[in-house]
Amino acid sequence: MREEQADLGLANFDSIAVDIGGAKVDSVYDALDDTGNERLCQALDAHHVKLKAKVTTTQGWTATVAANYKSSPTCRNSIYATGNTQNYDDRSKPGVAAFQDAVNKVFPSHQNKTSEWELEGWASAQWLTDAMRSCGAQLTRKCVESYLRGQKAYTGHGLLTARNFVVKRPAPTQNNCLNVARWQDSADGGQGRLGLAGR
């Protein structure tokens, strides 16, 4: 494993790309913001560094990937994101369709610009709403916390991988589920698509 540190104020992404290429790195995991990810991809393409996977956070997983990374097509087609929610763009899932319909109704100009980060925020708000509703007229912090701790496998109406608020010491080995999405340009070279690669 190789670590690279970037001063986000004066980041030298060309130097980072050269180091990554020289070390024959095939996968990059980072916590950069959108602009940092775009600049890193530009540098990787400029120095002909081809990765198997450029893994970003869900905050950077939006329908604008094609436009944001238009000058770095090689890197763009290696972008993956991991998360614990469904793919925000998969309307075959009723919860995702409800999320998109609500966003489009309130913010019509935001249509086709939603993101995984927004879906995670929606699911979190839904969890709190469910907890508050469980309290009825006796809404208190204690009631909400009791609801949260009592849920053994909350899925946010199908939006989340099962989770809970139970505090326990981690075992030496444990399993967890996550979704992995990958960007791939479409055959016509246009918009591309967001695909769920695994779970």
* Residue 157 CA to its chain's centroid (Å): 19
pLDDT given for residue 120 in this prediction: 86
Q: Is residue 191 domain-resident?
A: yes
Query: Which one, of 6, 15, 83, 2, lies nearest residue 37 by Cα?
Result: 6
Q: Is residue 8 domain-resident?
A: no
pLDDT given for residue 73 in this prediction: 93
Same domain, 141 and 108: yes
Same domain, 68 and 98: no
pLDDT given for residue 3 in this prediction: 66
Is residue 13's pLDDT more than 70? yes
pLDDT given for residue 147 in this prediction: 92
Mean pLDDT of the chain: 83
Highest mean pLDDT among 17-31, 53-67, 134-148: 134-148
Same domain, 78 and 29: yes
Lowest mean pLDDT among 25-39, 113-127, 177-191: 177-191
Average pLDDT over residues 134-157: 91
Which residues, including other chains, have CB under 8 Å from residue 132's CB and lie 6 or more apart? Answer: 139, 144
pTM beyond 0.95: the answer is no
Same domain, 70 and 115: no
Which position has the higher pLDDT, 111 or 138?
138
pLDDT given for residue 191 in this prediction: 39
CA angle 187, 50, 181 (to 5 degrees): 55
In 3-state terms, the chain is what percent helix, strand and coil (to 5)?
Answer: 40, 15, 45
Same domain, 103 and 134: yes
What are the CA-CA distances from residue 59 to residues 41, 113, 120, 130 (Å)? 16, 13, 9, 24
Tokens of 144: 């909400």
pLDDT given for residue 6 in this prediction: 64
Residue ranges making up the domain that contains 114: 94-150
| Complete edge-to-edge strand list for the sheet that includes strand 27-29 | 27-29, 53-56, 79-83, 179-184, 193-198
pLDDT given for residue 32 in this prediction: 82
Query: Which one, of 79, 66, 80, lies nearest residue 189 by Cα?
Result: 66
Is residue 2's pLDDT more than 70? no
Q: How confident is the model at residue 136 (pLDDT cuts 50, 70, 90)?
A: very high
pLDDT given for residue 186 in this prediction: 67
Same domain, 184 and 138: no
**155/161 Cα distance (integer angstroms):** 6
Average pLDDT over residues 83-98: 86
| Contact between residue 135 and residue 106 where contact means Cβ atoms under 8 Å apart | no
